[in-house]
Amino acid sequence: MELVHAIDAFARHLSSVRRLSPATVRAYRADLADLAASIAHPDVEHPDLERPDLERSGVDIADVDLEALRDWLWRARQRGDARATIARRTSSARALFRWALEHGLVAADPSLRLATPKRMRPLPRVATADALSGLLERMAVAAADGDPVALRDHAALELLYGAGIRVSELCGMDVDDIDRDRGTVRVLGKGSKERVVPIGAPARDAVAAYLVRGRPALAARADAATAALLLGVRGARWGVRSVYALVAREVAPLIGAETAGPHALRHSAATHLLDGGADLRAVQEILGHASLGTTQIYTHVSSERLAAAYRLAHPRA
């Protein structure tokens, strides 16, 4: 099978079988299109990624060897691609050839001996527990007047921090996903994997106040009924971009950044759980991480914070 057709089939597999998000599938496609372009035009410094040129190349996936893959990554380094970009493209190639081997398109996987550059992953920036408590208390006071938008904003931040959920999970929640009696929320995570996450009393109270006094007022502005938990000013499901704007306005000053996304609250929740003695496996389940290695980044954050406190406070530091 020609390489470009194999890439198409692999992308369909990622979407329909592995149920990856459209954005993730597009990222795989972009990485593998770069591979196909590099192999189709080995003498061109910056090959054109247009599909007609690639389809005329006649490169078969079974003819791609380790040397071709190494040359592709070498060219990426020569043109100044970031280490993280090269690492991601290496992973994309490995996923493609693993799939191709399983489906009998190649006799052996040439990517097995492909070295992956070490990623220099920066530690996530987090707000202190005291700073977030102060912010949420101020938002609770603002919401006490009964303004539906203030009630919604307070409930949203309490859920993001209290449950450590992703912004997509927050915006995708319906009213029925809240179990106030058990103090849990049901969310749909990456790969359409569902999980149930506990929330504390402040988040339960904020959501309850919003459901009683905030959501009905917002829902009355809608053209049609919706099951969505969080609603915008026109009564429709609240969007991700609006949540980003809220977090940037309220949370960014707490971490000393010009801007901050909803993940800053997820980072903070995970770090504070570990600071408080939570088990790493439990934090992995709460966050919905497929790999424990992803969760372990927060142990480094906690260690850095501990080391910083030691350096500031200990006379022999």
Catalytic residues: 166, 190, 263, 266, 289, 298
Q: What crossing angle do the helices spanning 66-78 and 22-40 adopt, rounded to 10°?
A: 100
